[in-house]
Amino acid sequence: LTDNLARAQGYIAHFADTGVQNHIAGQSVPAVSGATFNTISPVDLTPLAKVAKGGAEDIDRAVAAAKEAFKTWSKTPGVERRKILIKVAEAIEANAERIAFTECLDTGQALRFMSKAALRGAANFRFFADKAPSAEDGLSLRNANQMNVTARRPIGPVGVITPWNTPFMLSTWKIAPALASGCTVVHKPAEFSPMTAKLLVEIAEEAGLPKGVLNLVNGFGEDAGKRLTEHPDIKAIAFVGESRTGSMIMKQGADTLKRVHFELGGKNPVIVFEDGDLERAADAASFMIYSLNGERCTSSSRLLVQDSIYEEFTARVAKVAANIKVGHPLDPETVVGPLIHPEHETKVLSYFDAARAEGATIAAGGEKLGETGCYVAPTLFTNATNDMTIAQEEIFGPVLTAISFSDEAEALALANDVQYGLAAYLWTNDLNRAMRMTDDLDAGMIWVNSENVRHLPAPFGGVKASGIGRDGGDWSFDFYMETVNVSFPR
């Protein structure tokens, strides 16, 4: 840990002089107003760096830069874009440690997961880079009188607005396909974790990304974020964050008829039947809620267990929760680090009170840990019912709510009885049951007998209040591009 801390301090010294500035048309710049805010360490709440507090004027400048760069970038052949984006992927790999260490300090996420997340960022660039040469391809559709030919064009400069959980990886998941499509980008990262967004644009430009293709404006949602979603020259908004923020963005973008793509909240069930592989199911359910601090949109936050195995299964998970190493995010042994920010910690702790008030049993955790920093204990609530707040609301921490069910019909009803529909996890060895359940579960992504394992060509996204649209494979390109049909007589 001592060695890692020293290295991390070295990495964030990068921001010591100027703080985390905006990045517009290839220049690192302060906010036009000169305003700044602090990003703080969730380990001890000390300020890590000053951050430019961008507003409408900064967004306007960034959009003007993105609009200008679009003229060339959108006409750059896909094979050329591919070459540049592969170089970006390589540069991310070369800087993976710097990115991971910086992100650990800024977010509180454990190094064991962040080192992989940085490399996932590179994988996202590589994957979408490879698709750039064929991004504009279309179909020919003939009838007796016509030959119709379709082609795709990049939609224009786009806005990317991201949350604070695993910010680097998530940003690349949006920015890489946008750039591969030929769009230019204005990125507004989350105010709680701005550091690695700045590293990304610097690394990308050093690797050869032309200036103005990727621009960065830091600041708060209600000013910088709002202006970005309202700007007439921004053609689409890719947003990842809370469902109610998605609603606001939809309203803000209405006047300019913004195309939107939303990846929003979740309250994802993991459904365990008595015929499932219980050992693997317990490991997977624990991993999906207690890794990444539970600050993960696809976390398995509701554990639905068949009543015949409920006691045994929840006891197993409680044991795992009680033995999880909570600690400094840069300690290689740490599994759960501090939550992102005191505001978020207060929210998570409020659910411990709600659980007690509503009569759930606290089988593990349920308390704040330590005197300083945003540490909470990995928590399991048992004897919960689906109408409790802890079963309905997204807590976004290492907090799992376990509910029992008697049969398939009840499992399905409980699973679907929330406003969200992002992911679901199903454990059964009965194939017919798996088919029936997956047909009717309200979720955009369902994993059978597995934790969340991503396959980049597969669609990613949610139903109900969990989102609009899909990322992954060609779905991403469809969002960042317009399909145009040209008809010839025959």
Smallest gap from residue 418 Cβ to ligand NAD (A): 13
Which residues is 49 bridged to in the sheet?
39
Contact 63, 231 (CB under 8 A): yes
- Closest to ligand NAD by CB, 189 vs 398, is 189
- Give the alpha-carbon dihedral of 137, 140, 141, 144, to 10 degrees: 160
Footprint of ligand NAD on residues 26-45 (CB under 6 A)?
A: none
Considering only 265, 269, 276, 469, the residue that binds ligand NAD (CB under 6 A) is 265
Return the amino acid letter for 343: E
- Closest to ligand NAD by CB, 276 vs 467, is 467
Considering only 132, 264, 326, 380, the residue that binds ligand NAD (CB under 6 A) is 264
Return the closest-CA partner of residue 79 out of 154, 151, 153, 132: 132
- Closest to ligand NAD by CB, 74 vs 162, is 162
225 is an interface residue for ligand NAD by CB under 6 A: yes
Return the closest-CA partner of residue 408 out of 377, 432, 382: 432
Stretch that binds ligand NAD, among 219-227, 365-373, 446-454, 477-485 (CB under 6 A): 219-227
302 is an interface residue for ligand NAD by CB under 6 A: no
Considering only 103, 106, 205, 263, the residue that binds ligand NAD (CB under 6 A) is 263
Give CA angle at 313 (309, 318), nearest 5°.
150
Contact 187, 158 (CB under 8 A): no
269 is an interface residue for ligand NAD by CB under 6 A: no
Count residues binding ligand NAD (CB under 6 A).
Answer: 34
Of all residues in the shown chain, the one whose CB is closest to ligand NAD is 221
Footprint of ligand NAD on residues 399-438 (CB under 6 A)?
A: 422
Smallest gap from residue 490 Cβ to ligand NAD (A): 45
Considering only 53, 120, 198, 226, the residue that binds ligand NAD (CB under 6 A) is 226
Burial zone of 372 (CB within 10 Å; 0-12 exposed, 13-18 middle, 19+ buried) = exposed
Considering only 462, 469, 472, 473, the residue that binds ligand NAD (CB under 6 A) is 462
Cα 367 → chain centroid: 26
Smallest gap from residue 51 Cβ to ligand NAD (A): 12
Return the amino acid letter for 195: M
Burial zone of 441 (CB within 10 Å; 0-12 exposed, 13-18 middle, 19+ buried) = buried
- Closest to ligand NAD by CB, 21 vs 74, is 21
Smallest gap from residue 348 Cβ to ligand NAD (A): 12
168 is an interface residue for ligand NAD by CB under 6 A: no
Contact 202, 102 (CB under 8 A): no
Considering only 11, 125, 127, 164, the residue that binds ligand NAD (CB under 6 A) is 164
398 is an interface residue for ligand NAD by CB under 6 A: no
Footprint of ligand NAD on residues 233-262 (CB under 6 A)?
A: 240-242, 245, 248-249, 252
174 is an interface residue for ligand NAD by CB under 6 A: no
Return the structure tokens found at 443.
């979720």
103 is an interface residue for ligand NAD by CB under 6 A: no
222 is an interface residue for ligand NAD by CB under 6 A: yes
Return the structure tokens found at 31.
């906010």
Annotated active-site residue in 263, 295, 345, 394 = 263
Question: Known catalytic residue: 358?
Answer: no
Considering only 55, 253, 266, 276, the residue that binds ligand NAD (CB under 6 A) is 266
Considering only 284, 289, 297, 317, the residue that binds ligand NAD (CB under 6 A) is 297
Residues that bind ligand NAD (CB under 6 A): 161-165, 170, 188-191, 220-222, 225-226, 229, 240-242, 245, 248-249, 252, 263-266, 297, 394, 396, 422, 462, 466-467
Residues tagged active-site: 263
